[in-house]
Amino acid sequence: MNKFFHLSLLGLALALAGCASGPTWYKPNATTADLSRDRTMCMQKSQTGHMGYQKMNSEGAFNSAHYEIDSNLFADCMYDNGWKQK
């Protein structure tokens, strides 16, 4: 699987996560760019899943990876990077 595909999946996951109601992260003196960077890094670190899952997308192509985010690993990563939930 190529890197672009994995980054596309990560982007989709981040976009969907932004639409869901959930905790708001706060870190003194941090910018939105800092939050975006740390969220992306923590999303990558907290991925679970497997290769080989076949599902046809809306364009008729097959996706061959399925990943989920372990919310506990994600939160631990954010806390480790100095973020707190509001």
* Predicted confidence (pLDDT) per residue in 28-77, tens digit: 999 999 999 999 999 989 988 655 555 556 666 655 566 788 999 999 99
DSSP 48-73: EEEEEEEEE-TTSPEEEEEEEE-HHH
Quote the pLDDT of residue 42: 93
pLDDT above 70: residue 11: no
Q: Are 69 and 47 in contact (CB under 8 A)?
A: yes
Indicate the pLDDT class of residue 86, thresholds 50, 70 and 90. confident
CA distance 4 to 1: 9
* Residue with the larger pLDDT of the pair 2 and 23: 23
Quote the pLDDT of residue 57: 60
This model's pTM is above 0.85: no
